[in-house]
Amino acid sequence: MKAADPRTGEVAFAFEPASPEDVAVEAARLRAVQPAWEAAGADVRAATLAALAARIERDSEAVFQALAVDTGRRAVARIEIDGLVRNLRKWSARGPELFAALPRDPMPSATPDIAIVPSFSAYPLFGAIAPWNFPIVLSHIDAVPALMAGCAALIKPSEVTPRFVAPMRAILAEFPELPLAYVQGGAKTGEALVAAVDYVCFTGSTATGRKVAEAAARALIPANLELGGKDPMIVTASADPAWAARIALRASAVATGQACQSIERIYVARAIAEPFLAALVAAAEATMPSGPDAGSGHLGPFIFPAQADKVAAQIDEAVAHGARVLAGGRIETIGGGRYLRPTVLADVTPQMAVMREETFGPVLPVMIFDDVAEAIAQANDSDYGLSGAVLAGSLEEAEAIGRQLEVGAVSLQDGALTSMVGDATNHSRKGSGLGPSRMGDEGMLRFLRRQALIRQLGQPLTIEAFAERG
């Protein structure tokens, strides 16, 4: 398989995809070493993860350089690596505490003369199928707590961003006791992974997530799905329009909008619509692409070139049906990479694709509302329910509106906070996901299977207790 450099468009990297047989062999190897990893105990596992964090922090240059090429981003690549280090340290600190708090003492049952002893064990082999938009963070966001729980972990990163795997493997070679491995490839490799593991986490599109869920159901294994979003932002009449515009721009455009938590729909009160739009356009026009010089600008290229075509099609469709482009609006080719400056659209309608389908690009469609109840209804009129945001004159006003949004998490007086806050337990709604939260303590506890040891404290029943009495 081959992967392009998103900054140049050149196909300059190739790798051999793992066959289904390769995946099976790697899965068997991990299964063989997992019992020792789990038996080592929470403190040992925590120490290993902490040591890995220190190792990555000390010498991450090779990983960084590979990731920067994979994604065409340098600042976000640094943030990703820092995020992996924080994830490792968070679970190495929190994991032992959670294990210590697990109930282990016998508990009386509602059934007379019965006591129940809870017992916990890890799913032997965890599998992750990760996307291309944040390769390092999303390859490991579920794997790290799974490892802390005592699982072995098998990760399939996206074939679009494969370069970071080699330097990560070099680091992991220094930790032979850590049952973590990567398999590289496309859809066939992913299918083989689902068939080989005991628990699968998938991050990606809703369409592909449905296929993963179906495969997991056939295999009778749990599936955690973190899927697409069409995140709304409501800006009330009491909000400062310039302040709100700055937040909206950042929450929509960071990482070129290639994030599931990016704000993709903005509803603004008519009373402040004019100054809000003026400030939003000014902020958009001041945001520069980072090409061709990777050391300048704000927005990197589209990582997956085909995504640029999808975004352009949504913009064109909106304009054809009456939307106005106030800023941006045109895909640019710079040094071989494809870029889009933040694109502000006015006069959009709910029926347009840019308001209904996931965009995954720095596009800010703005609708004006007269009543907050109208804005809430429009925000909830979506096939997605990942996250959202509310900006208002007070936190109390924002929270009252946020409670009415049909999404898993709501940023109040900010936007896209789910990318920064790892302990906010939440459950995605509608087509945005399925299964337990990857955030908060649930992020690790979901990888523990419960067993009930049922103690008979009295006299067991005999067959006579079930004799027919006429």
pLDDT in tens, 428-438: 999 999 999 99
Q: What is the phi/psi pair of residue 345, to 5°?
A: -115, 130
Tell me whether residue 332 is exposed, middle or buried, using C-beta atoms within 10 angstroms of its C-beta: 0 to 12, 13 to 18, 19 or more.
middle
Is residue 470 scored above 80 in pLDDT?
no
Residue by residue, DSSP assigns 256-292 as GG-STTSEEEEEEEHHHHHHHHHHHHHHHHT--B--S
CA 92-94-97 angle, to 5 degrees, is 115
Q: Return the percentage of the chain with pLDDT > 90, whole number.
A: 97
pLDDT band at 402 (very low <50, low <70, confident <90, very high): very high
Query: Is the predicted pLDDT of residue 340 greater than 90, yes or no?
Result: yes
Q: Has residue 454 got a pLDDT over 90? A: yes
Is 151 catalytic? The answer is no
The per-residue pLDDT for 123 is 98
2-227+432-454 under CATH 3.40.605.10, yes or no: yes
Residue 309: pLDDT above 80?
yes
Q: What is the dihedral of CA 222, 160, 27, 190, to 10 degrees?
A: 50
Q: Taking 90 as the threshold, does the pLDDT of residue 135 lie above it?
A: yes
Q: Which token pair is 256?
A: 């070129």
Average pLDDT over residues 372-396: 98
At residue 291, the pLDDT reads 86
Q: Report the CATH architecture of 231-419.
A: 3-Layer(aba) Sandwich (3.40)
In the chain, how long is the greatest CA-to-CA distance?
A: 90
Residues 6 or more apart whose CB falls under 8 angstroms from that of 310 comprise 359, 360, 361
- Mean pLDDT, to the nearest integer, of 299-303? 97
Tokens standing for residue 389? 């945001």
- 0.85 cut: is pTM over it? yes
DSSP code, position 124? S
What span, in angstroms and rounded, lies between the C-alpha atoms of 117 and 115?
7
The 10s digit of each residue's pLDDT in 48-79 is 999 999 999 999 999 999 999 999 999 999 99
Instruction: Report residue 231: phi and psi, to 5°.
Output: -65, 125
Q: Which of 80, 159, 201, 260 is catalytic?
A: 260
* Residue 255: per-residue pLDDT: 96
Note the pLDDT of residue 292.
86
pLDDT digits 0-9 by tens, 217-240: 999 999 999 999 999 999 999 999
Q: What value does the mean pLDDT of the chain take?
A: 97
Tell me the C-alpha to C-alpha distance, in Å, between residue 322 and each of 316, 318, 325, 327, 345: 10, 6, 10, 15, 10
Let me know if 40 is exposed, middle or buried by CB neighbors in 10 A (0-12, 13-18, 19+): middle
My answer on whether omega of the bond before 436 falls inside 30° of 0, hence cis, is no
Active-site residue, selected from the candidate residues 159, 191, 226, 397: 226
Q: Say which range, 208-212, 288-292, 340-344, has the weakest mean pLDDT.
A: 288-292
User: Measured between alpha carbons, how far is 58 from 399 in angstroms, rounded to an integer?
Assistant: 41
For a pLDDT cut of 70, what percent of the chain falls above it? Answer: 100
DSSP assignment of 435-467? SS-SSSTHHHHTTEEEEEEEEE-SPPPPGGGG-
Q: How far apart are CA 88 and CA 76, in angstroms?
A: 18
The answer on pLDDT for 7 being more than 80 is yes
Q: What pLDDT does 295 receive?
A: 83
The pLDDT value given to residue 88: 98
pLDDT at 12: 86
Domain ranges for the chain, please list them.
2-227+432-454, 231-419
- Strands annotated E in 276-361: 324-327, 331-334, 337-340, 343-346
Q: Is residue 97 flagged as an active site residue? A: no
pLDDT tens sequence across 248-292: 999 999 999 999 999 999 999 999 999 999 999 999 999 999 988
Q: Which regions of 73-134 does DSSP assign to beta strands (E)?
A: 107-108, 114-122, 125-129
